[in-house]
Amino acid sequence: MSQAPAPASAGGREPLPTAAPEAPARSSSGHGLSVGRLLSGIPALVPAAIVVAMVVVLLEKSQLELLPGFFSSDWNPSIAHPQYGIGVFVAGSFMTAIPAIALAMAIGLGIGIGGTTYLPRNVSRLLDPFVDLLAGIPSVVYGIWGFVVVGPYFGAVTNPWLYSHLHFLPGFGGIPPQASGQGLPLAIFLLTLMALPITTLLIRDALRSVPKDLWESGLALGATRWEVMRRVAIPYSRRGILSAGFLGFGRAFGETVAVAMVIGSVASFPANVFGTTYTMAAVIFQTVDAAQGSSNYLQALAEIALILLAISLVVNIVGRRLITGFSSEQISGL
Amino acid sequence: MTTVLSPHPDLDDNILFDRSARTRWRIGFDRWIGRLLPLLFLVAILPILGMVYWVSEQALPTLTWTIIVGQSPYATDQLGVPIIGTFELMLIATLLSVVLGLFGGVATAELLSPRAASVVRMTANMLVGTPSVIIGFFGFFVFVLYFGWGLSLIAGAVTLSMFMTPYIFRTADLAFTSVPRHIREAALGSGAAPTQYILRIATPIALPQILTGIFLAMAIGVGETAPIVLTTTAGKLAPTSLTSPVTFLTAIIWDGFNQGSGSPFFVLAFQAAFLLMVVVVALNIVVRVVAARYQKRLEGLYQ
Amino acid sequence: MSTQNPSGTTTTTSDQISSPSRKRSGTVGMGAAVAIAIVLLLVGIAGGYFLGTYLNKSTTSTSKTTLTETGSSLLYPLMESWGPAYTNYTPNVILSPASTGSGTGQSYAEQGLVNIGASDGYLANASATNVINVPVAISSQLIWYNLPGVPGHLNLNGTILAMMYSGAITTWNNPLILAAQDAAQVTALNGLSSETIHLIARGDSSGDTFLFSSYCDMSWSGWTFGASTTALSGDKTSGITFDTGNSGMVTGVEGQSGAIAYIGISYMSKVSGTGLNYAALGDNLSNSASGGVNSANYVLWSPANVSADATLGLTHLDFATYGLAVTLILGGSPYGAITLQTGGGGSNPTPGTTPYPITNLEYTLVKTTAQANSQAIVGFLSWAISYGNAAQYLTPIGFVPLTAEVAGYDMQELATIQ
């Protein structure tokens, strides 16, 4: 007896994922492949055509050859013998995305567990829209809020406090943080907020799909709610939680505008955890118009774009496969 | 679930009444975690409230109706032109992406073989996961340069629609695949042609979910900056043709940020941000309402 | 097989009518799908080109013409004040400027993506892309610093600035700096609460960076960053902050005590605050000397001094060979270096004048090939070079009018636009 699937979650950037309904019965009857059928199939191939076109254009712009010194960390497009080492950007993208997803997973797990287990249904239903709303806010608004409001606060209060207390730790010492607050901590803060809705939603759904009998048998055996959660529900929903991590990472990794506004846009490794740096997405966005003059510069940017695209695609595909396994089911919305 | 600690003669062996220290600790820990974890909701709620409050604080004091509607070309404090620009961009982009996404989703759900369908779904998922700057990069080279459209309304709108189409595509696909099986079988078994089935029966059922997807895609599209900034250039007048320059709300915010707090654009940027947030919240509310009615309708289908 | 969950979601296992490998008749299979995709790509490309030619052919007969301009943030305030004035003069033409940095102005003009590209530095090899350099005004650059308690204007020169931005000088009480200041300033510099120099540079592709890096490049043999709009983007000197646009530089230097920044003259009125002042700039003949203590060696900004430098640089103008692509920095060296001597004035081809070293022509870059707005562009630029060079537009932002000779050459250039 089939059951209606939960609808795509209203609000927020990505709707609720739910496990797919039963596999569809094809409505085509056995009349063979007609021209009409072929024609109506055209729009279905549009995403495929776009993806292929994207890859082709990027490959063409990158001229299919790696510039010398590509993996070094010297990025100097303007001197007489320009260098196009992208090490800084790759490192910067990971340095911002990994802590952000770690934080977003931790908080998302907390909210997910808290919302499903410890709060009455109607209370959590009241609070969920706020999390969704986090996803709906445009990233440029995040950026300007981060730069104008949070940045000075970080620069004046948070970073100096951390610096003064933790500067003996490796990576925390060296140059004192900037007054403007731009840098890694601010970027990680914003990225965490942006990845949070995805992780929360996916974890919450994964936890909610634990069968009731498993729950109740755990409780009946004398475990507390926390223990059932920890030893039964979470291992059961491992895949959903992992996929939350991957998809949230994909989001944080590819975020462009907000990061560009707060990361400081300097093409060198940060001196310490408070330092400014650059990410792949941000450098493409901010330098593509000025790079038009030099074909090598464009080539370098196209190659950065290819790497960014490849990593995003891999992360996304792995993340989705974790939820759906290897069947042809599909999760809704997300 | 509350913990009952009063003893009952028949329940002496129940773990609930085990007063050992370890159990008390476990129960206490559970209770405390139960109080702590929901507090994490604040991590999500406080920033939103902070953002809304702060944007409103900067934008509202000087916000007048003239600012929203005014279109004089050289005024640095009027949003009429960017609003029209956003509207026109969204109009073209939504039309294009609804047509492509809807028909594409239906075709995937109904028309393609399972293998082809799973490949197509994978490409749609890949597009969703692509960073917006890469779509902008692509749009700039292909639409602005190769095709010769220049930095224009049409280039921006088509690039934006490339961003929005996969969301509508996926939602349409899912909506049609989740039409309950017995309805599909009943329809086909009664002799309906596939077209009749799709148009007359499946679409009304799938419509709320499709609408949800469209509004969500619009909410995402209206807030996008990178792809459109790369494919359009600012204009002081409302766009008059497909090739004219166009200004839009997110560009105002981005320019305001670039110009710094001293420039007159700065306050305008907040007002644009405020309007954007209003639009996004409104769209989210609409989506929730539609989804709630969809829930009800689907439940009705199973009676 | 479905199992029901309390939340109403369904977990299912794959249960399709047909196994994935069996192609059902009537459905579009993989082969057909690939074929469709290829056809779609080809049709899409063809359609895109077709649409492009169609759009560019149709002349829009709307009543208003928009001239799009983008580029230099230094020229931007002038464009902003010119816009309403020009629309007053020619009601059907609206000017739409944007401040995106000289690098963008150059590349967009080359590609024909905007009608007018603005740049603080000339576009080298412009004719290769059918672009002409049309200067519209003479501007300059100030070196601002944030040092509360230091009186008057500090004396600096290109060598010191180059060493600062290369990390060779890191503190304000460096002997090289102190040697150039008078007694009161030396005391103040030694008494600063923090001696660290906070460097601020442009992060975007900027004509101001081009001017500043040219100045440094000409002044110090140890300068490794060359002279370009992105010269400092690879500068890994610790503590360097990158801001976007001249307005970002203003905010940056105002907000950080001990900061130094190079800011275009048009933003002079926007910098305010205690301790904020701009430097007097001197010559730099050797790496070690800082020009001596005599403040007469250091030229303070003034319109007259800017004009003096411009005149000096333009004396060597060879229009036939170089067109209007000349540098005016340091009096147009390599066309003729100036040397300032003790006792003031300096020894230069025109003794008795005091040329301000960082001066430049503000260029608009325009395509010579015919486009829809060509006549409107010519109309606007002709107005700009003549009426637009009036004091009411230039003086508030510290610009200086073009010389008659340059204006004449400009009109010659404009005549080449089809």
Buried b / exposed e across B288-302, counting CB within 10 Å, b at 16+? bebbeebbeebeeee
* Closest partner CB to C51 (pick from B147, B235, B241): B147
- Pick from B112, B142, B243: CB nearest C33: B112
Residue position matching structure tokens 């459109």: B228
Top mean-pLDDT range of A12-16, C159-163, C407-411: C407-411
Lowest mean pLDDT of B76-80, B137-141, C55-59, name the range: C55-59
If you search the block for the tokens 């909210």, which residue do you land on?
Answer: A111
Query: Among B152-161, C76-85, C231-240, where is mean pLDDT lowest?
Result: C231-240
Give domain status of residue A284, yes or no. yes
Per-residue pLDDT, A32: 60
Identify the domain containing residue A298 by its residue range.
Answer: 87-332
pLDDT, averaged across chain C: 81
Looking at per-residue confidence, does C324 or A37 come out higher? Answer: C324
Amino acid symbol at C337? A
Cβ-nearest to A25 among C7, C17, C256: C17
Residue A22 lies in a domain: no
Nearest CA to A13 among B167, B170, B51? Answer: B167
- Eight-state DSSP code of residue B144: I
What was the pLDDT predicted at C15?
40
CA–CA distance, C341 with C343 (Å, rounded to integer): 6
The mean per-residue pLDDT over the stretch B132-138 comes to 94
- Whether C245 and B259 lie within 8 Å, measured CB to CB: yes
Compute φ and ψ for A239, nearest 5 degrees.
Answer: -65, -45
pLDDT band at C112, cuts 50/70/90?
confident
Residue B91 lies inside a defined structural domain of this protein: no
CA distance A302 to A67: 11
Residue A93 has pLDDT above 90, yes or no: yes
Angstroms from A176 CA to nearest CA on chain C:
9
Is B180 part of the contact surface with chain C (CB cutoff 8 Å)? no
- Tell me, what's the pLDDT at A13? 53
Token pair for B8: 């009952």
Q: Is residue B42 part of a domain?
A: no
**Among candidates A311, A104, A322, which has minimal Cα distance to B130?**
A311
Cα A90 from Cα A98, distance rounded (Å): 12
Residue C361, beta-bridge partner list: C138
| pLDDT score for A130 | 84
Indicate whether A240 pLDDT > 50.
yes
Cβ-based neighbour number of residue B83 at 10 Å: 21
Residue B178 to residues A25, B5, B106, B207, Cα–Cα distance (Å): 10, 47, 12, 12
Closest CA to C309 of C329, C323, C337, C292: C329
| Predicted local confidence at residue C26, as pLDDT | 65
- For B16, counting Cβ atoms within 10 Å of its Cβ (0-12 exposed, 13-18 middle, 19+ buried), the class is middle
pLDDT, one tens digit per residue, over C149-203 is 898 888 888 888 888 999 888 999 888 888 778 888 889 999 888 888 999 998 8
Residue B19 lies in a domain: no
- What's the pLDDT at A55? 92
Supply the pLDDT for residue C273. Answer: 82
Which of A50, A256, A312 lies nearest to residue B162, judging by beta carbons?
A: A50
Contact in structure between A124 and A115 (CB atoms under 8 Å): yes
Residue A199 covered by a domain: yes
Instruction: Using the predicted structure, report yes or no on whether residue C291 has a pLDDT greater than 60.
Output: no
Ramachandran angles phi, psi of C12, nearest 5°: -130, 155
Residue B97 predicted with pLDDT over 80:
yes
Task: Give the pLDDT of residue C283.
Answer: 56
Instruction: Write out pLDDT tens, residues C236-285.
Output: 776 788 887 888 888 889 888 899 999 999 999 888 888 899 998 875 43
Q: Which three-class secondary structure state does DSSP give residue B265?
A: helix
Does the beta carbon of B195 lie under 8 angstroms from any beta carbon of chain C? no
State the burial class of residue A87 (Cβ atoms within 10 Å of its Cβ: 0-12, 13-18, 19+).
Answer: middle
Chain B environment of A24 (Cβ under 8 Å): 109-110, 176-177, 179, 181, 184
Q: For residue C28, list its beta bridge partners.
A: B112
Angle between helices A46-61 and B114-129 (to 10 degrees): 50
Q: Which chains touch B (3 or more CB pairs under 8 A)?
A: A, C
Residues of chain B with C-beta less than 8 angstroms from the C-beta of C18: 114
User: Which residues, other chains included, contact B78 with Cβ-Cβ below 8 Å and sequence gap of 6+?
Assistant: B66, B67, B69, B70, B71, B72, B268
Instruction: Say whether C14 and A44 touch across the interface (CB within 8 A).
Output: no
Residues 6+ apart with CB under 8 A from C384: C82, C86, C136, C364
The share of chain B scoring above pLDDT 90, in percent, equals 36
d(CA B210, CA B97): 12
Cβ pairs A/B, distance under 8 A: 337
Q: Which residues contact C377 (CB under 8 A, 6 or more apart)?
A: C67, C115, C116, C366, C417
* Residue A229: DSSP 8-state: I
The total of structural domains in chain A comes to 1
CATH assignment at residue A169: 1.10.3720.10
Those of residues 105-164 in B touching chain A at CB distance below 8 A are 105, 107-112, 114-115, 117-138, 140-142, 162
Residue A157 located in a structural domain:
yes
Q: What is the CA radius of gyration of chain C?
A: 28
What are C340-381's pLDDT values in tens digits? 444 333 344 455 667 888 999 999 999 998 888 899 999 999
Look at residue B203 and tell me if it is in a domain.
yes
Q: State yes or no: pLDDT of B131 exceeds 90.
A: yes
Mean pLDDT of chain A: 82
pLDDT of C34 strictly over 50: yes
A191 φ/ψ angles, rounded to the nearest 5 degrees: -65, -35
- The pTM is what? 0.85
Give φ, ψ of C148 to 5 degrees. -65, 135
Distance CA B255, CA C70 (A): 13
The residue ranking higher by pLDDT, A172 or B138, is: B138
Burial per residue of B222-238, b for 16 or more beta-carbon CB atoms within 10 angstroms, e otherwise? bbbbbbbbbbbbbbbbb
Q: For residue A57, is it within any domain?
A: no
Residue B237 is predicted with a pLDDT of 84
In a domain, B123, yes or no: yes
Helix (H) or strand (E) holding A189: helix A184-208
The answer to whether the CB of B251 falls within 8 A of the CB of B225 is: yes
A150-184 exposure pattern, b = at least 16 Cβ within 10 A, e = fewer: bbeebbeebbeebbeeeeeeeebebebbbbbbbbb
- Say how many domains are in chain B: 1
Q: With beta carbons under 8 A apart, name residues in chain B contacting A321.
A: none
What's the rounded Cα separation, in Å, for the pair B249 and B80?
10
| Distance, C-alpha C63 to centroid of its chain | 33
Residues written for chain C: 418
Chain C CB within 8 Å of residue A175 CB:
yes
Q: What whole-number distance in Å separates Cα of residue C212 and Cα of residue C226?
A: 10
Angle between helix B114-129 and helix A238-254 axes, rounded to 10 deg: 50
The first and second tokens of residue C83, run together, are: 């816009």
Q: Which two tokens stand for residue B263?
A: 């420039």
Q: Flag whether A113 is in a domain.
A: yes
Within 10 angstroms of residue C39's Cβ, the number of other Cβ atoms is: 14
Token code pair at residue C16: 């399709």
Instruction: Check which CATH number belongs to the domain holding B275 and give it.
Output: 1.10.3720.10
Q: Is A124 on the interface with C (CB under 8 A)?
A: no
Q: Residue A155 gets which letter from DSSP?
A: I
**Better-scored residue on pLDDT, C236 or A111:** A111
What average pLDDT does range B67-91 have in this prediction? 87
A190 in a structural domain: yes
**C286 burial level (CB within 10 Å; 0-12, 13-18, 19+):** exposed
Cα–Cα distances (Å) from B292 to A70, B154, B208, B209, B288, in that order, read 52, 36, 9, 10, 6
Distance between CA atoms of residues B289 and A110, nearest Å:
28
Q: Is the dihedral of CA C215, C217, C220, C223 positive or negative?
A: positive
Decide if B243 contacts B190 (C-beta within 8 A).
no
3-state secondary structure C176-204: HHHCCCCHHHHHHHHCCCCCECEEEEECC
Q: What is the pLDDT of residue B200?
A: 83
Q: Tokens in use for A167?
A: 């500067």
pLDDT at C62: 63
- Residue-wise pLDDT tens digits, B196-255: 778 888 888 888 889 989 999 999 999 999 999 999 888 888 887 888 889 999 999 998
Contact at CB, C8 and A212, closer than 8 angstroms: no
Is residue A26 assigned to a domain?
Answer: no
As beta bridge partners, residue C71 has C99, C118
The reported pLDDT for the residue numbered A182 is: 84
* Dihedral over alpha carbons C152, C156, C162, C164 (to 10 degrees): -50
Residue C95 has phi, psi (to 5 degrees) of -100, 130
The DSSP letter of residue C275 is T
pLDDT for the residue C297: 65
Task: Tell me what pLDDT residue A79 has.
Answer: 63
Distance from the first to the final alpha carbon of chain A:
25
| B108 neighbors B119 (Cβ within 8 angstroms) | no
Q: Which residues of C touch A291 (CB under 8 A)?
A: 107
Tell me which residue range forms the domain holding B178: 97-297
CA distance B65 to chain A (A): 22
From A59-73, A304-318, C80-94, C182-196, the region with the lowest mean pLDDT: A59-73
Which range, of A212-221, B1-10, C261-270, averages the lowest pLDDT? B1-10
Residues 6+ apart with CB under 8 A from A22: A2, B181, C2, C12, C15
Instruction: Name every chain C residue with its beta carbon within 8 A of the beta carbon of A29.
Output: 26
Answer whether A133 sits within 8 Å of B281, measured CB to CB.
yes
| Cα(C384)–Cα(C52) distance, integer angstroms | 32
Q: Which of C62, C95, C251 is the closest to B262 by Cβ?
A: C251
Q: Report how far apart, in Å, the C-alpha atoms of A212 and of each of B262, C166, C333 are.
A: 59, 66, 83
Classify the C-alpha dihedral C267-C269-C274-C279 as positive or negative: positive
